[in-house]
Structure 1
Amino acid sequence: MIRFLIRSGIFVASAALGLLVAAWLLPEFNLSWSGGIVAVLVFAVIQSVISPFLLKVAARNAPAFLGGIGIVSTFVALFVASLFPGGLTIDGWRTWVLAPVLVWMITALATFFLPMVFLKKGIEKKRNRTALPIG
């Protein structure tokens, strides 16, 4: 259960980081502070639910698309999150093309590196507890 909560926290943090970077770099990608938390949570939940579904469908019907599932699921999650009022707005076709790629890239990097950053102290503490005393 603890492992699930840690992974969920890291996934939500990576989603928040991806959306914040997109809002910072793309002028037509707006994330408001008032609805931003809802947008991040909706994005994270939709992304985590739709990715396995799309992966299964692509593996069965179109294996050539397996590499693009992350970007497609990010696009779908951005679309659904933008339907909730007051949180996330995306304007212009260029932003709709660039945002999924940018958010996918940031979330992928964050989900890879955040565990190393946040769990490093816990791993070191556990190693120190299990180490045999010298002497």
Structure 2
Amino acid sequence: AKRGVRVRIITPGKRIDTHTVREASRACWGDLLAAGVEIYEYQPTMFHCKLIIVDEYLVSVGSTNFDSRSFKLNDEANLNIYDRDFARQQTSIFDGDLMHAKRITLDDWRSRPLVEKLLERATALLDPQL
């Protein structure tokens, strides 16, 4: 995002299976938001999609979470597809999901309640185990 690349992330909202993981991940949002990353929280239901679309050409989809445990310990797998038509289809689905997500701004993140800030800092200490 700092280089002018548009980065959009959809994360689970309050409906999530692991609140500890949600709080730990939110602890690093300030740096991402300050760098220009757009962060959205999916609202209607649990959101468990792991998808990356790069340059309207590469699509990576699979089970990998973006955390140390998934990268170093868990047996995760992603499929990388290099196809513009498939990337367009996935972008359309992603844009549809954005319609059901709430954008979190840097001001939103900074003005969140103190209890959320404390929970995020406390759970971030557990990050290597999550």
User: TM-score category by the smaller chain?
Assistant: under 0.3
Greater helix share, 1 or 2? 1
- TM, length-normalised to structure 2: 0.27
The higher radius of gyration belongs to 1
